[in-house]
Amino acid sequence: MGWNDHIEFEDVRCRTCGDVGTWQFWNKVALARYSGDLGKHLGLDVTKNGRCPYCGATEYDEVDPDE
């Protein structure tokens, strides 16, 4: 089990800015584990959970991996 097993990385298209990129999706274990001092010490930002890395929007469409 690795340090980021509770974080999934998925390729999606942002509905707001149209960017296709890899978003982070954190489950409850990861949010609890890294939301405090440990996350700050490791340089992890739990506010990136399910958000566009460019505009911060939360709405997205799944992208076909063959696209």
Query: Does residue 35 sit within a domain?
Result: yes
Q: What is the pLDDT of residues 54-63, one digit of tens each?
A: 899 999 999 8
Query: Does residue 2 sit within a domain?
Result: no
What amino acid occupies position 57?
Answer: A
d(CA 6, CA 23): 14
Query: Does residue 5 sit within a domain?
Result: no
Q: Whole-structure pTM over 0.85, yes or no?
A: no
Query: Does residue 4 sit within a domain?
Result: no
Q: Considering only residues 46 and 21, tell me which one the structure prediction assigns the higher pLDDT.
A: 21
**Tokens representing residue 22 in the block:** 């890899």
User: In terms of residue numbers, what domain contains 49?
Assistant: 10-62
Q: What is the pLDDT of residues 2-44, one digit of tens each?
A: 556 778 889 999 999 999 988 989 888 878 887 888 878 888 7
Residue linked to tokens 């929007």: 57
State residue 1's pLDDT score. Answer: 45
Query: Does residue 67 sit within a domain?
Result: no
The candidate with the shortest Cα–Cα distance to 52, out of 44, 64, 60, is 60
| Cβ-defined contacts of 32-41 (< 8 Å, 24+) | 33/6
Count the domains in the chain.
Answer: 1
